[in-house]
Structure 1
Amino acid sequence: MVAQDVHKLLDLEVRLSEVPKDGRDYEFQADQMTKEALVAETKLDGVDSLNGKISVRPFRGGYQAKGKGQATVQQACVVTLDPVTEHVELEFERIYMPGKPPEMDVAPNAEVFVNLDSEPDQDWFEGDYIDLAPMVVETLLLSLNPYPRKQDAEFADVEEDVRDESESPFAALAALKDKK
């Protein structure tokens, strides 16, 4: 199963002709097949729940998607590799504009300034619908703890490497320097 299937299973395609001027709410709840697809396509050990509500409304010639959700997932502990359960609160906000993204006119190796606090993320769409599922999956994965750790899990004590300084490769260089 490819990642595209996860998006189809979540079924969050919004027909733009059905979105009134004051917006429309879309609720979602991942079923068992969707949860299994998420586990298969990510590094998650399990997905217990994924649900939420997203409002879509016309916005500046495009559409704004904004909402909240929650998920309960299992990841491997970075210390013990045992499953760690994590509850995640999700916040969605994205602007969808018609057309294709503009090509950046940036020279190779040039510096690019990105202000992450300015506007919500922007995506582009073609046709008469927007698929919100990629935003939901992306937000879920970006909201996870990158280093999940089981409570009270600790690394084993590491002993210092005790070497005789005369074994060091720099000891030979120091001996050459002393001869001069």
Structure 2
Amino acid sequence: MAEPLTTAWPCEISLAQVDRGAVSLRLEPSAEQRKAIAKQLSLVSLEALSAEVHLSSWLDGASISGILRARVVQTCSATADDFETPIDARFSLKVLPANSQNAPQEEFGDLGADPDGDDPPDVLEGEMIDVSGYVVEHLALELDPFPRKPGAVFVQPPEPTEISPFSALKSLSLKREED
């Protein structure tokens, strides 16, 4: 396989280009672009992000597979400390043009979908594949929604013994009686 072509971020590839032959890309957003992605994904920061993506023809659309590597900084849900997590993930999906006869037909009430089966292909709005968008989408899928710093343990704060708003008044009246 040919060495991936390093391309600018964001990256879009036309279906026609993939139809003419497989495309291999290496994507690395700039520091400013990583900052925008971190904000979009509610991260403290995105220290590094790179992806190698391979696109090949599939039916009248494309098959996309790739490897993404990232270093994300998130806030621990137990301690509120920021910590860095490495991410190394593979992803794959298929896309079809909007006018494709192979596009999945949405049927309301169809509960026959196999939860363990392959995802249905994405249907594109035009003829362009937003490769960088799929990289960010799959990075988001790799993020822990409740991140925990390694070794962090949540400690439940003690429950107040009296929750009544009148408990403060009661303690004042007890002090007056003692005086």
CA distance 1:61–1:81, change in 2 (3 Å): same
Q: Which amino acid aligns with 1:52?
A: A
- The answer to whether the 8 Å contact 1:93/1:120 transfers is no
Counterpart residue number, 2:106: 104
Asked if the contact 2:14/2:129 (under 8 Å) is kept, the reply is yes
- 1:6-34 Cα shifts (integer Å, max 9, x gaps): xxx83220123322555110110121111
Distance 2:154 2:125 in 1: 50
Q: How does 1:12-161 map to 2 (within 5 A)?
A: 12-19=11-18, 22-99=21-98, 104-106=106-108, 110=109, 112-159=111-158
Q: TM (normalized to structure 1)?
A: 0.72
Q: Residues 53-99 of structure 1: CA distance to partner in whole angstroms, max 9, x if unpaired?
A: 11111112211001111111011001121111111112221111111
CA contact (8 A) 1:29 1:50 kept: yes
- Normalising by the residue count of structure 2, what TM-score does the alignment of the two structures yield? 0.73
Contact 2:104 2:120 in 1 (8 A): no
What corresponds to 2:167 in structure 1? none
Q: Runs of 4+ in structure 1 displaced over 4 angstroms?
A: 100-103, 157-163
Q: How does 1:2-13 map to 2 (within 5 A)?
A: 10-13=9-12
Q: Are the aligned partners of 1:14 and 1:129 in contact in 2 as well (CA < 8 Å)? A: yes
Q: Which one-letter code corresponds to 1:96 in the other structure?
A: V
Contact 1:54 1:67 in 2 (8 A): yes
Amino acid at match of 2:37: L
* 8 Å contact kept, 2:68–2:139: no
Q: How many residues end up aligned between the 2 structures?
A: 152
SS at match of 1:10: coil
Unaligned stretches of 5+ residues in structure 1: 1-8, 164-180
**Secondary structure of 2:150's match?**
coil
Percent identity between the two aligned chains: 24
What is the identity, as a one-letter code, of the residue corresponding to 2:26?
A: E
- Relative to structure 1, the CA distance from residue 114 to residue 142 in structure 2 (aligned partners, 3 Å threshold; closer, same or farther) is same
- Aligned partners of 2:126 and 2:78: how far apart in 1? 47
Name the CA distance, whole Å, in 1 between partners of 2:39 and 2:159.
40
Inter-partner Cα distance in structure 2 for 1:152 and 1:138? 28
Amino acid at match of 1:104: E
Give me the whole-angstrom Cα distance separating, in 1, the residues matched to 2:74 and 2:96: 35
* CA distance in 2 between partners of 1:63 and 1:17 (Å): 10
3-state secondary structure, aligned to 2:66: strand
